Amino acid sequence: MSIMSDAKSGIPEIAREVAIRENIPAERIARGLASGRIVIPSNPRHSPTPTGVGEGLHVKVNVNLGTSEDCSAIDEELEKARTAVRFGADTIMDLSTGGDIDSIRRRILKEVKVPVGSVPIYQAGLEFARKSAVVDMTEDHIFKGIETHVRDGIDFITVHCGVTRESVESLKNSGRLTGVVSRGGSFLTAWILHNGKENPLYANYDYLLEIAKEHEVTLSLGDGYRPGCIADATDAPQIKELITLGECVKRAREAGVQSMVEGPGHVPMHQIEANVKLEKSICDGAPFYVLGPLVTDIAPGYDHITGAIGGAIAASCGADFLCDVSPSEHLCLPTVDDIRVATIASKIAAHVGDISRGMSMDRDNVISRARAELDWESQFAHCLDPEHARARRNERRPGKGDEDVCSMCGKYCAIKLTNEYLKKK
């Protein structure tokens, strides 16, 4: 049995818990699970807070963290995980590639109660890269790595099943500006070209489904050929991969395995809606998990903004799950403060998407009312980052005892003036 197959014959307990959090009927969650349009990544070995992703639910935010060969301080990664959850991350992905990767993953799983994802092929590739070359990975090693991650309790795994011999051919003829920017996608492209064989994750997809079903792990079907710049968006390799992922979604559903689909990447604003619609159509409504998307390539250091713009549009068009993009994207491994800023930027994008999808604006209204009443404490209490908002206000106090206004207009405070005269009427 699995969450998905349980939902075909009734309402699993986990669906009831998600229904309470989403404030919608449990039957709707169960129907979404049974059809594959909703997933609840939840490996029983981790047993995270029940979190639903998909049709009709609030847009969720994932935050990426993890070590690199150059920066592998585990305490810093744990602090990043705590920071992300504190600012509202719904899930965390551990993308560690440096230091003791097994131990980092296990510590993160212990540290957070939100669902945790990983990309097992990173570890398989790196272990071979340290000895000889990534292309020497064996199929056995790739699958053993997946089993290790899921036995540790990882709730969802990125698997780049759509990078196939056929899509490699399409890539070769594509004339892309930035080639392949997905690490997993690059490992598998190099492996296919070097070994002249099919991607083991695609060739042995039934075996992958068996592992996923046994451990109740959700497949996040990775976008190895996501565009790495807006010029490459929505091109042939990306769409060819998406068509294969649509086939993988269908087979996962038949096997009772939960699956979602990862998407771009870098996409100019006017192509975002088409990207969401294509995924929803080709993958029959499978939850869509997008990285950003970044809507321009001119802002290194500010890609939390380019990503949040794209994320808000994608969410308003139907994307279900946003991956954070930090200000350090394309430049370096994020710091703890980058994670704070990135989480908040993605939360804003997700909330903007929720509003445009007709979800509650109650929190906005509470803050607006407090703003109209010059009630600063209530504004701080309900905003995304109270500490930051309070510190900014305190940076430039208006002084002269007029503490109810702020230093923007001081004694010419429009709200105060209007309130005074409206009360006189």
Among 139, 299, 406, 419, binds ligand SF4 (CB under 6 A): 406
**Least distance from ligand SF4 to the Cβ atom of residue 364, Å:** 16
Residue identified by tokens 């920066």 is 71
Burial 44-77 (b: 16+ CB within 10 A, else e): eebebebbbbbbbbbbbbbbbbbbeeeebeeebb
Q: Which of 242, 317, 247, 320 is nearest to 279 (CA)?
A: 242
Token digits for 306?
Answer: 């380019």
Q: Which stretch binds ligand SF4 (CB under 6 A): 20-28, 99-107, 170-178, 408-416?
A: 408-416
Is the separation of the CB atoms in 277 and 239 below 8 Å?
no
Residue with smaller CB distance to ligand SF4, 359 or 383 = 383
Residue identified by tokens 């930090």 is 326
Residue with smaller CB distance to ligand SF4, 103 or 368 = 368
| Phi, then psi, of 20 in degrees rounded to 5 | -65, -45
Per the rule left: phi > 0, alpha: psi between -120 and 50, beta: everything else, 292 is left
Q: Which stretch binds ligand SF4 (CB under 6 A): 57-65, 150-158, 356-364, 409-417?
A: 409-417
DSSP secondary structure letter of residue 266: B
Among 405, 423, 424, 425, binds ligand SF4 (CB under 6 A): 405
Among 20, 372, 381, 414, binds ligand SF4 (CB under 6 A): 414
Residue with smaller CB distance to ligand SF4, 331 or 372 = 372
Among 409, 420, 421, 424, binds ligand SF4 (CB under 6 A): 409
For the chain, the first-to-last Cα distance in angstroms comes to 68
Q: Which stretch binds ligand SF4 (CB under 6 A): 160-168, 262-270, 334-342, 401-409?
A: 401-409
Q: Which stretch binds ligand SF4 (CB under 6 A): 102-110, 194-202, 251-259, 402-410?
A: 402-410
Q: How many degrees, rounded to 5, is the angle at CA 168 between CA 180 and CA 277?
A: 70
408 binds ligand SF4, rule: CB under 6 A: yes
Q: Which stretch binds ligand SF4 (CB under 6 A): 67-75, 162-170, 335-343, 404-412?
A: 404-412
413 binds ligand SF4, rule: CB under 6 A: yes
Is the separation of the CB atoms in 190 and 134 below 8 Å?
yes
Is the separation of the CB atoms in 5 and 254 below 8 Å?
no
For residues 143-172, which are near ligand SF4 according to CB under 6 A? none
Residue with smaller CB distance to ligand SF4, 147 or 373 = 373
Residues within the interface to ligand SF4 (CB under 6 A): 405-406, 408-409, 413-415
